[in-house]
Amino acid sequence: KFYSLSRYTKCFLFFNFFVGITLFGFFYTTKQLVLLMTPRPCHAKTNVMFLKTHKTASSTVLNILFRFTEKHNLTIALPADQRFHLGYPERFNTSFVEKLQNKMQNYNIMGNHLRFNPSEVHKVMAGDTFYFSILRNPIFLLESSYVYYKNMVPAFNRSKDVNEYLASPLKYYREEDYKKNIYAKNIMWFDFGYDNNAEDNKNYTQEVLKDIEQNFHLILIADYFDESMILLKHTLCWDLDDVIYFKLNSRSNDTVQTLTAESRERIKTWCSLDWNLYLHFNQSFWRRIEETIGLEELEKEVNHLRMRQKELMETCLLGQEAVVKTRIKDKTFLPFQSGDANILGYNIRPDLSNKTLKNCQKIITPELQYMSYLYSRQHPHKKRKPLHRALPWNSSLEKTQVPRQN
Ligand SMILES: *[C@@H]1O[C@H](CO)[C@@H](O)[C@H](O)[C@H]1NC(C)=O
Ligand SMILES: *[C@@H]1O[C@H](CO)[C@@H](O)[C@H](O)[C@H]1NC(C)=O
Ligand SMILES: *[C@@H]1O[C@H](CO)[C@@H](O)[C@H](O)[C@H]1NC(C)=O
Ligand SMILES: *[C@@H]1O[C@H](CO)[C@@H](O)[C@H](O)[C@H]1NC(C)=O
Ligand SMILES: *[C@@H]1O[C@H](CO)[C@@H](O)[C@H](O)[C@H]1NC(C)=O
Ligand SMILES: *[C@@H]1O[C@H](CO)[C@@H](O)[C@H](O)[C@H]1NC(C)=O
Ligand SMILES: *[C@@H]1O[C@H](CO)[C@@H](O)[C@H](O)[C@H]1NC(C)=O
Ligand SMILES: *[C@@H]1O[C@H](CO)[C@@H](O)[C@H](O)[C@H]1NC(C)=O
């Protein structure tokens, strides 16, 4: 009885079947259209090279890259043997990088100090690597450089203060000290691999700017650091937490020298190559923001970033702010000190759970310590970097990371 359906019912079912197919097809097509119309979900970029420039908040960026490297189990190109830099101030070549045991493999990340040299850098990075760097207004950069490198750079050492130096730089800046004086004139130009003593003529400058645009996908601006982090996050398809930071390697306010109005103007001509570089990429930075994120969304996201940063500072820090070197309790986290600058650091709250503690420690770890730690994890068979104090998470029990294939 059950099987003997009336002819009418059979027809009805048949009809339904076809309507079903058609409707299904319709919805299917609609779904495809909707999928096509919504922006494709992006994939976090994991092959990234950062040209670390000097005195540009680049240590803070490097900490972000170090944490990202660990989060995704990536490989990172680190200085070979006992070195702390990738051959700087020599032009980069591949011999400055510690080799992986599997020599055929490229690195995912590179960000320690090096003098840019595209053909050699390309040899250690994957073909689809994202290249970025950061610039800072040369006026503030030169003052910072002066204080930080005061005792190391002959041009600075010979003058009383930054204003005296700028009043007549040629009195202090001598050709024969060229290599030691790189921090005293157009240091960003030098870091990008060009001649910081070159004559500033329009053709040459335009040529170099074009070159940099070809070699780098993005140039951030330290004077707009939070905006830079949001643009970086968007461009690389990273999470907000990937670009949350605590300022690293900053100095106490009392070591900042006040530039006179004349000095500020003089920097624009004394460091005219850097000044042109900065003006050019400051413009393209803001153009990029308008074309991709828009100013309104940018403001919203910058506020999110600051809220999240504040929240993390409350979670992690005693006193919720950076402190001068003498007030850093755990000397393991004491940043490298230099010149007349008093480089600030942080104190972690003592009452944190293990996991929170570790995350908090990583975000405040100065670059030399963090680099040495990554080095000993990635190259367990090599002699460790000569650092005096071991980081707390350097336990031999911790799993050695398995380098990922590119
Ligand atoms: C990284 O490696 C660890 C241990 O080898 C593993 O537990 C973790 O899931 C890996 N994470 C990613 C993002 O691959
Ligand atoms: C790399 O640079 C160092 C120092 O400048 C130099 O001694 C070495 O020969 C260079 N190696 C290559 C392969 O170019
Ligand atoms: C800096 O100046 C001091 C005293 O004038 C001198 O002893 C020292 O050698 C100088 N350092 C450099 C790097 O020129
Ligand atoms: C700059 O380039 C233009 C066109 O390429 C050329 O005519 C001019 O001579 C160059 N000027 C200098 C100073 O090199
Ligand atoms: C240092 O100066 C900056 C900018 O003027 C200010 O925001 C900050 O609160 C000052 N920090 C201290 C510890 O005084
Ligand atoms: C950088 O760009 C911003 C936005 O256009 C502008 O307000 C600022 O004056 C620029 N900085 C310099 C030094 O030109
Ligand atoms: C936290 O770390 C301490 C010291 O390293 C260890 O003794 C303890 O077992 C850890 N606790 C948890 C819950 O993992
Ligand atoms: C890390 O830990 C291992 C084993 O506990 C120890 O031999 C080594 O000296 C430590 N390294 C550093 C840099 O502290």
Pairing of strands 218-221, 76-77: unpaired
Ligand nearest to the CA of 275: 6
Pick the CATH number of 48-315+370-378 from 3.40.50, 1.10.3720, 3.40.1350, 2.60.40: 3.40.50
Q: One-letter amino acid identity for 196?
A: N
> Is the beta carbon of 117 within 6 A of some atom in ligand 2?
no
- Rounded distance from Cα 62 to ligand 2 centre (Å): 25
Better-predicted residue by pLDDT, 109 or 354: 109
Q: Retrieve residue 285's tokens.
A: 């930075």
Q: Residue 115's CB: how many other CB atoms inside 10 A?
A: 19
Least confident of 52-61, 168-177, 191-200: 168-177
Helices (H) and strands (E) in the chain, counts: 15, 5
Query: 260 CB under 6 A from ligand 2?
Result: no
pLDDT for residue 177: 82
Asked if 100 and 106 count as a contact pair (C-beta separation under 8 A), the reply is no
Structure pTM? 0.85
Strands lying side by side in the sheet with 48-51: 76-77, 109-110, 48-51, 130-135, 218-221
Tell me, in angstroms, the distance from the centre of ligand 5 to residue 253's CA: 6
Contacts for 192 with CB less than 8 Å, ≥ 6 apart = 51, 53, 116, 133, 208, 212, 277
* Ligand 6 mutation pick, 137, 282, 289, max ligand atoms within 8 A of CB: 282
pLDDT at position 1 over 70: no
Pocket test for ligand 4, best of 199, 200, 202, 203 (most atoms within 8 A of CB): 203
**Does 279 sit in the ligand 6 pocket, CB within 6 Å?**
yes
Return the ligand number nearest the Cα of 180.
3
- pLDDT tens digit sequence for 239-259: 999 999 998 888 888 889 999
Query: How far apart are alpha carbons 193 and 55 in whole angstroms?
Result: 16
CB of residue 324 inside a 6 A radius of ligand 8? no
Between CA 364 and CA 317 the distance in angstroms is: 10
Number of the ligand closest to the Cα of 108: 1
Cα(93) to ligand 2 centroid in Å equals 6
Residue 398 has pLDDT above 50, yes or no: no
Q: Give dist(CA 282, CA 278) in Å, integer.
A: 6
The finding on whether 359 has its CB within 6 A of some atom of ligand 3 is no
- Residue 125 DSSP label: B
Distance, C-alpha 229 to centroid of its chain: 9
Say yes or no: CB of residue 384 within 6 Å of ligand 8.
yes
Task: Cis check for the bond before 89: say yes or no (omega within 30 of 0).
Answer: yes
How many angstroms separate the alpha carbon of residue 359 from the centre of ligand 7?
14
**Tell me, what's the pLDDT at 400?**
39
Q: What is the DSSP letter of 348?
A: B
Segment 71-123, tens digit of pLDDT: 999 999 999 999 999 999 999 999 999 998 876 779 999 999 999 999 999 99
Closest approach atom of ligand 3 to CA 157: 1
Does 197 have pLDDT greater than 90? yes
Nearest CA owner, ligand 4 atom 5: 203
Q: Specify the ligand 3 atom closest to the Cα of 153.
A: 13
Of the segments 11-15, 132-136, 147-151, which one has the largest average pLDDT value? Answer: 132-136
CA of 395 from ligand 8 middle (Å) equals 7
| Helix (H/G/I), strand (E/B), else coil: 321 | coil
Can you tell me the distance from the alpha carbon of 322 to that of 116, in angstroms, rounded to the nearest whole number? Answer: 32
Residues 276 and 209: their CA atoms lie apart, in Å, by 9
Question: Which whole number is the average pLDDT over 186-201?
Answer: 97
Nearest residue (CA) to ligand 4, atom 1:
203
Mutate to test the pocket of ligand 2, among 92, 95, 99, 179 (most ligand atoms within 8 A of CB): 95
Q: Does 270 score more than 70 pLDDT?
A: yes
Q: Closest ligand 2 atom to the C-alpha of 90?
A: 5
Q: At 405, is the pLDDT very low, low, confident or very high (cuts 50, 70, 90)?
A: very low
How confident is the model at residue 333, as a pLDDT? 86
Give the C-alpha separation, 135 to 156, whole Å: 22
Supply the pLDDT for residue 252.
85
* CA nearest neighbour of 129 among 86, 78, 75, 87: 75
- Partners of 132 in the beta sheet? 50, 218
Return the CA Rg of the chain.
27
Cα distance between residue 349 and residue 364, in whole Å = 12
pLDDT at residue number 335? 84
- Minimum-distance ligand to the CA of 369? 8
- Where do the domains of the chain lie? 1-38, 48-315+370-378
Q: Looking at the CA of 227, name the nearest ligand.
A: 6
The DSSP code sequence of 249-294 is S-B-GGGPPPPPHHHHHHHHHHTHHHHHHHHHHHHHHHHHHHHHT-
